[in-house]
Amino acid sequence: MSGVSVKVGGSSVTRAIQLLGDRWSILVIRDAFQGVRRFEQFLERSGASRATLTRRLRALVATGVLTRVRYNSAPPRWEYRLTPKGRDLFPLSMVAWDWERRWAPRGAGIPMRVRHSACGHDMRAETACSHCGQVLSVRDVDARTRPGVATRSVPRNTRSRRLSSLTGASRRGTHESLTHIADIVGDPWTPLVLAAAFFGVRRYDDFQRELGIASNVLATRLELLVQRKVLKRSLYLRQPHRYEYRLTDKGRELFPYAIVLNAWGDRWLATPSGPPFRFVHRPCGKEFVPVVRCSHCRATLAPGAVAAARSRLAAREGPRR
């Protein structure tokens, strides 16, 4: 993607990260799409502390992603259900699953096969151009500022947040899927560094200038992304040593997650002046929105239409009793 001069802080993905860029919010939404509704269930599956989970659920209700519904009067008990705004995150959850299916460590609890009920076939989640239908690649997308729409820097409260030491390997929860992607994008700064890389930023000083990020925070995030093999360091100057940070295949394949999250932010979080950027697909030359679809029938994916496929062995043996 071209556009080094484009300010990441002005994009809808930044506003979306402010709302969802936290590992616990990612895991709560993951579980909500699996039918979890009650506090104790979220607590067991996510591994969050009670205080942390209480804060995340309260924040997701306040921002309209979840709604709280009473299911017991005495004593009062509540369920947390996805709103239309929350259900619209389903394409993002499918993109996250598809990335995890390929890149999460072995034994990470990822359903390797899912079935699309509309066509009855096993599938992958493809992210495609809404105009020409071609599968999107970071190399084929240009970001352009919309005339007359003001952009802004990274919000101030993002700057104060620290990187949690908790990862999928150290957490206490019982449900493992999507924890690898949460380890990478589950804090407010790391996905912004990654978004800047998608915009074409490669050098340390350019990341710092683009994001307004403190040097120690940037160094930590870049090292994390290198350790996770999302970025790789490449020497471009020997005296003194200077490095560029380039996307790996693993990193490039996070692009659908970023652009689908940005599209969700455009729909739900844009200012009255509208989304600050438009995205153009080079092969067809048209402005587009990303569409997440079934790789078999090309139909757009919707909640309730996708389920983990039974293994062939389980199908031969029949249901367990």
How far CA 127 is from CA of 13, 62, 300, in Å, comes to 17, 30, 10
Where helices occur in the chain by DSSP H, the ranges are: 12-20, 23-33, 39-46, 50-62, 84-87, 90-103, 156-159, 179-185, 190-198, 204-211, 215-227, 249-252, 255-268, 312-317
160-201 pLDDT, tens digit per residue, is 445 554 455 545 556 667 788 998 998 889 999 999 999 899
**Domains and their CATH numbers in the chain:** 8-20+84-313 (1.10.10.10)
Count of H-run helices and E-run strands, the chain: 14, 12
Cα 135 to Cα 139: distance, rounded to the nearest angstrom:
12
Residue 286 has pLDDT above 70, yes or no: yes
Question: How much of the chain, in percent, has pLDDT values that exceed 70?
Answer: 83
Q: Is 122 helix (H, G, I), strand (E, B) or coil?
A: strand
pTM (2 decimals)? 0.86
Beta carbons of 142 and 280 less than 8 angstroms apart = yes
pLDDT band at 314 (very low <50, low <70, confident <90, very high): very low
Give 236's strand partners: none
Buried b (16+ CB within 10 A) or exposed e, 103-118: bbeeebebeeebbbeb
Residue 256 has pLDDT above 60, yes or no: yes
CA neighbor of 174 nearest in space, from 294, 67, 36, 313: 36
Predicted pLDDT of residue 55: 95
Predicted pLDDT of residue 167: 53
Q: What is the DSSP string of 61-99?
A: HHTTSEEEEEEETTTTEEEEEE-HHHHTTHHHHHHHHHH
How far CA 271 is from CA of 8, 92, 267, 275, in Å, comes to 16, 21, 10, 7
Tokens of 116: 């699309």
Residue 224 has pLDDT above 90, yes or no: yes
Regarding beta strands 277-281 and 286-287, do their DSSP bridges make them parallel or antiparallel, or are they unpaired? Answer: antiparallel
Which residues have a Cβ under 8 Å from the Cβ of 316 and sit 6 or more positions away? none
Question: Mean pLDDT, to the nearest integer, of 262-267?
Answer: 94
Residue 40 has pLDDT above 80, yes or no: yes
Question: Mean pLDDT, to the nearest integer, of 207-226?
Answer: 93
Predicted pLDDT of residue 91: 97
Predicted pLDDT of residue 165: 47
Residue with tokens 């804090």, as numbered in its chain: 187
pLDDT band at 204 (very low <50, low <70, confident <90, very high): very high
44-62 pLDDT, tens digit per residue, is 999 899 999 999 999 999 9
Beta carbons of 113 and 308 less than 8 angstroms apart = yes
Residue 155 has pLDDT above 50, yes or no: no
